[in-house]
Amino acid sequence: MNVKKIMIMPLMILLLVFTSACGMFSSSSKETAQSQEKKGNSDVIKIGVIVAETGPASTLGKTEANTIKMIQKQLDETGPINGKKIELVMRDYETDDTKAVIAMDKLISDGIVAIIGATQASTTNAILPKAEKANLPLLTLAPINTDIENVYNIPPSSATVASKMIDYLVENKISKVAWVNAKDAFGVDGLPHFEPLAKEKNIEIVAHEEFDATASDMTIQLTNVREKNPEAVIVWSRTPGAGIVARNFKALGFEVPMIQSHASANQGFLDQVKSNSENIFVVAGKLNVVTQLEDSEYKSLVEEYVNPYEKEYNEPTDFFGAHSYDAVQLVIKAVEEGNFTSSDINNYLQNELKEYQGISGKFDLTKPIEGPQADGVTVLSIEDGTWKYTE
């Protein structure tokens, strides 16, 4: 072999590899487009839903699951939309992230066009890569932080909830607080958002304690907090840990208010604290006190969800059920406007709908990761085992 041939051979191999790779990419894009087209041509639009209907997180996931079942019943009664039957394909991941990932694989293979879930932030982060790879719109039921496109935070962000806490502290002239959080994905997310807002308002964080999310007693952490003489105690955790902290707080005889995050805005928390609710406040959805709100378009919107729910299940719903309601309504709205594929649904939400007044708050869908604004949340007290509107 002469020198010229030796120099040309590597170039030919590179050209062959490049051409082959281009073919693979082209084939992959073609398959994705064909899959999207196939979904769009089907008479059934499948929307995947992953919730913790059972297991420890079911205190949040149960109303989410019930809401999905109720909406499916309503959809079946009203019939197809734009010639399409909408099927909500729900999977209970039993508060087990591994089962959620397995469920996600099955839903994708079943041809869903969007995914709603999961109940917990850690689970949502676990299924997120699969949603991204499949180019699915992901409408979260727990707030997460990501720069991946097509992710819609349906609950208020941690920053929005923290700002509501700050408003409460300022209004009540509280300038020294203690911070207590669970050491899980949700629990550690609050302080980074609260801290800069508190600094802006000259609110000092005099103590910071953490507890294991599965712990059964937080007396040690609260004893440490009390030594710093805070004027309020902020708790960022979901039930059951949030309820255990509240019970320990009462047993230790604190006389300052405790303010809990939105993850405690559910019946499970009320059942835990029972008569130990004095001086305990929770950032919650206004739907928790819809009968106490003044008449407005927003109140009427909330009643469209709350009244049928209570009639169906003979029990109150909560903010978590509202998130699943808003998520499904957004996808239904896209289908009503003739958008049947994942890419068309994404384009409609962000570029055509842009704004949406949900029960969870008003959404700016051009910034989907920011979640709803604070108009849907408030700080509630608890009286006689029920929520009390304080504004």
What's the pLDDT tens digit per position in 207-243?
A: 999 999 889 999 999 999 999 999 999 999 988 899 9
Identify the pLDDT of residue 32.
55
Identify whether residues 146 and 50 lie together within a single domain. Answer: yes
Whole-angstrom Cα distance, residue 288 to residue 271?
15
What CATH number does residue 280 fall under? 3.40.50.2300
Identify whether residues 384 and 359 lie together within a single domain. Answer: no
**Residue 276, in any domain of the structure:** yes
Confidence of residue 18 (pLDDT cuts 50, 70, 90): very low
Identify whether residues 178 and 141 lie together within a single domain. Answer: no
Looking at every residue in the chain, the average pLDDT score rounds to 90
pLDDT surpasses 60 at 247: yes
Identify whether residues 301 and 152 lie together within a single domain. Answer: yes
pLDDT surpasses 60 at 19: no
Identify the pLDDT of residue 107.
98
**Residue 35, in any domain of the structure:** no
**Residue 217, in any domain of the structure:** yes
- What does 357-387 look like in DSSP terms, one character per residue? E-SS-EEETTSGGG---GGGEEEEEEETTEE
Nearest alpha-carbon partner for 339 in 327, 355, 351: 351
Plot region of 29 (φ>0 → left; ψ -120 to 50 → alpha; else → beta): alpha
**Residue 176, in any domain of the structure:** yes
User: What is the total count of domains within the chain?
Assistant: 2
Flag whether the pTM goes above 0.85.
Answer: no
Question: Each residue of 312-348: pLDDT tens digit?
Answer: 999 999 989 999 999 999 999 999 999 999 999 999 9
Strands (E), 68-175: 85-92, 114-117, 138-140, 151-153
Identify whether residues 141 and 169 lie together within a single domain. Answer: no
Q: Which residues constitute the domain of residue 115?
A: 44-157+295-373
Identify the pLDDT of residue 195.
97
Identify whether residues 300 and 215 lie together within a single domain. Answer: no
Identify whether residues 340 and 384 lie together within a single domain. Answer: no
Identify whether residues 52 and 145 lie together within a single domain. Answer: yes
Identify whether residues 123 and 264 lie together within a single domain. Answer: no
Whole-angstrom Cα distance, residue 47 to residue 328?
8
**How much of the chain is in helix, strand and coil states, percent to nearest 5?**
50, 20, 30
Identify whether residues 383 and 237 lie together within a single domain. Answer: yes
Residues, the chain: 391
Identify whether residues 166 and 279 lie together within a single domain. Answer: yes
